[in-house]
Amino acid sequence: MSTSSPTGRAASVVVLAIATVFAGMLGPLQSLVNGHLGTALADGHAAALVSFGTGLVLMLIIVLARTRTRDAFFRLPGQLVRGEIPRWNFFAGLCGAVIVLSEGVTVGFLGVAIFQTSLISGMVISGVVCDRLGVGVPFKQAMSAPRVAGAILAICATVLVVSPNWSAPHMIALAIMPFVGGLLAGWQPAGNSEVGLLSGSMFVSITWNFLIGFVALGLVYVVRMAVSGAHFTLPGTWWMYFGGPLGLMSIALMALLVRGLGLLLLGLASTAGQLIGSLLLELVAPAAGSSLHLVTVVGAFVALAAAAIAMIPSRHTAEPAVLAQPAEVRRG
């Protein structure tokens, strides 16, 4: 069937959207791997180090193998010192570090469904706020009624998924961690995009993202070792090293799929994939001592509705944003 005809183009979009849903499922799978890793090591912080470390090693192999990307990567420290772009853009990897750290700490207790719903709810709110402030987009988006409604629905989704745990305050506290990670996530794509434009390669930007996250997590872990005697160990199970590579695979697939779908459809389809995948994984591999509640399922679909509503562009855009750069998909 020819893709030049309206029917062919529609079929192509459907195929790409389905592919994006499956690509979105890699997010919950990464969360599951990092959650099990955190449980196996009895240390979510160590799990985040392993996840970032494996991703960093793979990206260094890719970037250092080519002269152009290698030179661009080694120029970044000097460009940071000279302030060739706002310095905060260089530290976007800290947002990914918070998200991956929260996976290692909380998924073993919360389960993938609650984690992903809380994370996405935070990301919806972050997206609305960042669009209003002009972070990572060409034009500021007015705070329209649908976008405010999407943000409110995102809060409702978080409340729904944690409601079965009202009697366990520590579980509520754990659910706040991915929510905060989601709130920070709006900054990460803008920073990565700026570094990518400066270096001329998103591969270099992603590698820098992993490096910053790994260094930050490593420095804090060294302090922990000095203060509390924490001891770092590596997992003995091979598949527990796949958290970082799964994140990289998700980034690569989204970068390819966005060309055929655009950011709006890509965001909605990937969000659907994250939530559907998290519910399926919760059925197949629930967290220890937990079960999939109906309100968790409802909360996941409320989060999807929140994302869809919040993605509706405002009829009127505000003045051009300071950072007029396209957003790039996602975490370390």
- DSSP assignments along 51-69, one per residue: HHHHHHHHHHHHHHTSHHH
User: Which residue, chain included where needed, has tokens 């030049």?
Assistant: 4
CA distances from 312 to 264, 284, 316 (A): 8, 34, 12
Under 8 Å CB-to-CB from 161, ≥6 apart: which residues?
113, 114, 117, 118, 175, 295, 296, 299, 300
User: Which residue, chain included where needed, has tokens 């509705």?
Assistant: 305
Under 8 Å CB-to-CB from 209, ≥6 apart: which residues?
92, 93, 96, 188, 192, 195, 332
For 233, phi then psi, to 5°, come to -135, 155
Does the global pTM surpass 0.85? Answer: no
DSSP 193-262: HHHHHHHT-HHHHHHHHHHHHHHHHHHHHHHHHHHH-------SSGGGG-HHHHHHHHHHHHHHHHHHHH
Q: What is the rounded distance in angstroms from the CA atom of residue 51 to the CA atom of residue 5?
A: 44
Under 8 Å CB-to-CB from 252, ≥6 apart: which residues?
none
pLDDT at 329: 38
**161 DSSP 8-state letter:** H
pLDDT at 64: 96
pLDDT at 263: 60
pLDDT at 330: 45
pLDDT at 325: 37
* CB 89 within 8 Å of CB 190: yes
* CB 329 within 8 Å of CB 255: yes
Per-run averaged pLDDT (10 residues), the chain, 332 residues = 60 82 90 92 93 95 96 96 90 90 88 87 81 65 75 82 70 85 79 88 92 95 92 91 90 75 72 87 74 79 81 59 39 54
pLDDT at 9: 66
Q: What is the rounded distance in angstroms from the CA atom of residue 146 to the CA atom of residue 127?
A: 13
Q: What is the total residue count of the chain?
A: 332
User: Which residue, chain included where needed, has tokens 């919360």?
Assistant: 110
